[in-house]
């Protein structure tokens, strides 16, 4: 059973055509979509951040969520490249003396795999199979798509390295 707010969000997502085969489940609306600037298709989760006290979603602004999804999916190539550059620079600076599996530019190794959209933030998940084969890279963007935090997390969840703050994001690891 879903909430009225989640049903409304799903209806708006279906109407918008932003996601392929969207479904509502476990408090999220999710599906797949293309980020053209990244040249890839990603899993997209939209989290209206419903809580038990607000099962009808009276505080959920569907327009803001739809705009946030649209903004990340239609991000321009120059903005996308700036995000990738900042992520790569943050990680390169942090692991300056640490050995990496392959000596290639991290910018060329980063592959977006998923997006979680909140009303005021976006969480991108990347893999870097050559440099960080056993990890994923989480990047939090603010509502203007500026980098707000970078974290490298081992795939088994046992260790993570924070480069800024990802305090907005909590809960279980994405699948």
- pLDDT, position 101: 54
Three-state SS at 50: coil
Q: Is pLDDT at 13 greater than 90 in this prediction?
A: yes
* Residue 38 to residue 55: CA distance in whole angstroms: 35
**pLDDT of 165 over the 60 cut:** no
Measured CA to CA, the distance from residue 98 to residue 92 in angstroms comes to: 9
Distance from C-alpha of 81 to C-alpha of 31, rounded to nearest angstrom: 24
* pLDDT over 90 percentage in the chain: 63
Q: What is the structure's pLDDT at 173?
A: 41
Check whether 123 has a pLDDT greater than 80.
yes
> Can you tell me the distance from the alpha carbon of 137 to that of 128, in angstroms, rounded to the nearest whole number?
8
Residue 159 has pLDDT above 60, yes or no: no
- Over residues 5-11, the mean pLDDT reads 94
Please indicate whether residue 166 or residue 23 has the higher confidence score (pLDDT): 23
Instruction: Report the pLDDT value the prediction gives residue 156, as an integer from 0 to 100.
Output: 72
**Model pLDDT for residues 49-68, shown as the tens digit of each residue:** 987 655 555 678 999 999 99
CB 3 within 8 A of CB 57: yes
pLDDT exceeds cutoff 70 at 143 = yes
Strand, helix or coil at 24?
Answer: strand
Q: Say which residues have a Cβ less than 8 Å from residue 118's Cβ, sequence separation at least 6.
A: 47, 49, 68, 168
Does residue 147 contact residue 132 with C-beta atoms inside 8 Å? no
Q: Which residue bears the tokens 């990244």?
A: 38
d(CA 149, CA 115): 14
Question: Mind listing the pLDDT tens digit for each residue in 22-37?
Answer: 999 999 999 999 999 9
Distinct helix (H) and strand (E) counts, the chain: 4, 8
Is the pLDDT score of 175 beyond 50? no
**Where does the pLDDT of residue 99 fall: very low under 50, low under 70, confident under 90, or very high at 90 and above?**
low
């Amino acid at each position: 059973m879903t909430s009225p707010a989640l049903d409304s969000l799903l209806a708006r997502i279906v109407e918008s055509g932003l996601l392929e085969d969207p479904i509502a489940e476990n408090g999220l609306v999710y599906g797949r979509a293309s980020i053209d600037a990244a040249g890839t298709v990603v899993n997209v989760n939209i989290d209206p951040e419903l809580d038990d006290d607000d099962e009808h979603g009276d505080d959920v602004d569907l327009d803001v969520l739809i705009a946030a999804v649209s903004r990340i999916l239609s991000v321009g190539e120059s903005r996308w490249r700036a995000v990738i550059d900042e992520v790569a620079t943050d990680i390169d600076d942090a692991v300056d003396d640490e050995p990496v599996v392959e000596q290639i530019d991290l910018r060329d190794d980063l592959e977006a795999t998923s997006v979680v959209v909140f009303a005021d933030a976006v969480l991108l998940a990347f893999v870097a199979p050559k440099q960080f084969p056993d990890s994923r890279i989480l990047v939090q963007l603010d509502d203007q798509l500026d980098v707000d935090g970078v974290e490298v997390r081992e795939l088994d969840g046992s260790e993570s390295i924070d480069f800024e703050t990802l305090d907005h994001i909590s809960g279980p690891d994405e699948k």
